[in-house]
Chain A
Amino acid sequence: MGVDKNIKILLVDDFATMRKVIKNLLKQSGYNNIVEAEDGVDALKVLKAEKVDFVISDWNMPNMTGLELLKAVRADSDLSGLPFLMVTAEGLKENVVVAVKAGVNNYIVKPFTAEVLNEKIKKIIEKL
């Protein structure tokens, strides 16, 4: 069964340009229902205000990192089951272990193509 391309994706990154880049990649794969946040604090506000189906978050951000956001999401009974894809500029093993322990569904190392991003989203959703 194919993945519903109408899912609402929350895209979290402090770099506005990187949000545009990832948004562009998501649109290439048919995902058009995208909301944005510029850090973890902003993301939590969005998650409290509207129903989101999937989170794609950068790791390194000021105010609240992607890892801190992930932990906050998993600790919130209303949000704990939310699929969470972590984006990182480095595939360091220690970081991956930390993210997995914190409950990340998968991670993706920059740079990546639209196909790889789509594949990661599909795998996460199919496992739910």
Chain B
Amino acid sequence: MDVRFINPFLEGTISVLKTMAFVDPKPGKPYLKNDSLARGDVSGIIGFTGTLSGSMALSFSENAILKIVSNMLGEEIREINSDIEDAVGEITNIISGAARKKLESFGLTILAAIPTVVSGKDHSIKHVLGGKSIVIPFETEDGPFVVDVCMSEIKQA
């Protein structure tokens, strides 16, 4: 996977969470992941088709997502419930939109599917393309989360 496709997801994630949830996530060093185990307690995953295809997943630790959604809603949420799952789907959708807009500047056309949300300890994430994904770890004051991207450029004939 071309690493220049990673920055739009990194920048999109920071910008969306700062704007919507007043959280300032600090990115760590990206790494390659070769298994389907999610690195969080609740994940949103979204598929892409077009000249760049694949999928992106966001996996949040419980504490990180409780703080993020509580800030978004302006009310304290203490456990992972339907509000949290709904919000993770929407956050995934918005971050993918922000990243896709930046990717357009590379001349790529990308269409997104509807995000799905999975929660529970040790759940798995299945990327559309299979194989290795690139994981960007983030830290917030309340806990970690990761952005897990697996994409491939479709070369025009």
Contacts and interface: CB of A to CB of B under 8 A. Distances in A.
A57 to B, nearest CB: 15
Contacts of B96: 89
B101 A92 contact: yes
Interface residues of A, number: 19
15 contacts: A16-B83, A17-B69, A18-B87, A21-B73, A27-B74, A60-B114, A88-B97, A90-B100, A91-B97, A92-B101, A92-B104, A109-B97, A111-B19, A112-B19, A113-B19
B16 A17 contact: no
Give the interface SS of chain B, mostly helix, strand, loop or mixed: helix
Given A92-B104, A113-B19, A17 B97 contact: no
A80 interface: no
B19 A17 contact: no
A60 B93 CA distance: 11
Contacts of B86: 15-18
A24 B21 CA distance: 12
Given A20-B83, A24-B73, A90-B101, 19 more contacts: A15-B86, A16-B83, A18-B87, A18-B90, A21-B20, A21-B87, A24-B72, A27-B74, A60-B93, A89-B93, A89-B98, A92-B100, A109-B101, A110-B16, A110-B94, A110-B97, A111-B15, A111-B16, A113-B19
B89 interface: yes
Nearest to A18: B90
